Amino acid sequence: MKTKNLLFILCFSILIFACSSSSSDDLTGQNPDPNPNPDPDPNPTAKITYKDDIKAIIDGNCLSCHGSPTNGPSNSLHTYNLVKNDVDKIIDRINRTGAGKMPPNGTLSNSAKALIQQWKDDGLLE
């Protein structure tokens, strides 16, 4: 029982320490974490690729309508080339909040949106 308490206190102080040390460059003291979204790309040297990162997002959120054959829209997004060719339209649509936003019945997570943008910035690798 004693050891358990001690462990808890130890973990807790590590947590406090980790939090307080990361806000040392925050001068206003109001918002200790200016970027509340976790880094979508924790390994910045690894390039984003369609196969490893993008396909799962598109397949899970878009193919119910943008599959092959499509179910409403005119553009299919079921291959690397189709997604690559439509990337600017995709980035536009996933960042809309009103008319024409994609997916129409929801919103991608911030990290998924950032991954798609990063994929473009990395050169649309397959």
> Residue 54, interface with ligand HEC (CB under 6 A)?
no
Distance from the Cα of residue 96 to its chain's centroid: 16
Of 30 and 105, the one with the shorter C-beta distance to ligand HEC is 105
> Residue 117, interface with ligand HEC (CB under 6 A)?
no
Contact 115, 41 (CB under 8 A): yes
**CA torsion, ordered 97, 58, 88, 109, to nearest 10 deg:** 40
**CA gap 31, 24 in Å, rounded:** 11
- The burial class, CB within 10 Å (0-12 / 13-18 / 19+), for 77 is buried
49 SS3 class: strand
Query: Beta-carbon neighbour count of residue 101 at 10 Å?
Result: 16
Per-residue string for binding with ligand HEC, 62-101, x by CB under 6 A?
x-xxx-----xx-x----------x--xx--xx-----x-
> Residue 48, interface with ligand HEC (CB under 6 A)?
no
Number of residues this chain uses to bind ligand HEC (CB under 6 A) = 19
Shortest Å, Cβ 96 to ligand HEC: 9
Among 48, 50, 55, 61, binds ligand HEC (CB under 6 A): 61
Shortest Å, Cβ 108 to ligand HEC: 6
Tell me which residues touch ligand HEC (CB under 6 A): 61-62, 64-66, 72-73, 75, 86, 89-90, 93-94, 100, 102-105, 108
